[in-house]
Amino acid sequence: MRIAIYPGSFDPVTRGHLDIMKRSLNLFDSLIVVVMQNNKKTPMFTAEERVELIKQSVVEAGIPTEHLKVVSNAGLLADFAKENGSSIIVKGLRAISDFESEFQMAAANQKLSPQLDSVFIMTRAKYMYLSSSIVREVSYFGGDISSFVTSVVETAVKEHYRRQHGE
């Protein structure tokens, strides 16, 4: 069994992320999407909400779920991989700017856990510009995000701002 791990913030999950999930499932026997809890940033959605939005978006996007798991993790990715019997980390690459930080992180993970390998999947050209921060920024100013995210995420984002403005 080749179990791959796809880590990220997914705040929120985008169509670019979903495309990487779908393609990873074609390459590996199973995929664990790991919502990493990054304590540096204040997220738009809690880790639990992000997990739930990914689960619902995967279904909405018609991605088969038999070999897909979505969880959150607050610890080291290298430890998580070991505990889950995985030695493959999947990362998406959009631009040269992604490369530098990903390269550094892959090297650090390999040092922490030598059997761990990172696999990079190149973005589809149509998702090159897409990131969670673009979704947050566009939606903040009331822009249309329907081509960036699933309808469950679009609804959750609207609800997020409605709640924020209601406070």
Amino acid at residue number 67: H
Choose, by CB under 6 A, the member of 57, 73, 132, 139 that binds ligand ADP: 132
Distances (CA, A) of 3 to 24, 56, 123: 10, 22, 21
Q: Is 17 noted as a catalytic residue in this protein?
A: yes
User: What are the backbone dihedrals phi and psi of residue 129, each rounded to the nearest 5 degrees, phi first?
Assistant: -85, -10
- Selecting among 15, 17, 50, 91, the annotated active-site residue is 17
Distances (CA, A) of 11 to 47, 111, 112, 152: 9, 28, 26, 13
Q: Is 165 noted as a catalytic residue in this protein?
A: no
**12 touches ligand ADP by CB under 6 A:** no
Whose Cβ is closer to ligand ADP: residue 118's or residue 166's? 118
**21 touches ligand ADP by CB under 6 A:** no
- Selecting among 9, 86, 131, 132, the annotated active-site residue is 132
Alpha carbon distance 127, 62 (integer Å): 18
Choose, by CB under 6 A, the member of 92, 116, 148, 154 that binds ligand ADP: 92
**44 touches ligand ADP by CB under 6 A:** no
Q: How long is the chain?
A: 167
What would the two tokens of residue 15 be? 């169509």
DSSP state of 126: G
Choose, by CB under 6 A, the member of 17, 54, 89, 148 that binds ligand ADP: 17
Q: Is 80 helix (H, G, I), strand (E, B) or coil?
A: helix
Candidate segments 25-33, 71-79, 125-133, 147-155, binder of ligand ADP by CB under 6 A: 125-133
Q: Is 132 noted as a catalytic residue in this protein?
A: yes
Binding site for ligand ADP (CB under 6 A): 8-10, 14, 16-17, 20, 91-92, 94, 98, 123, 127, 130-133
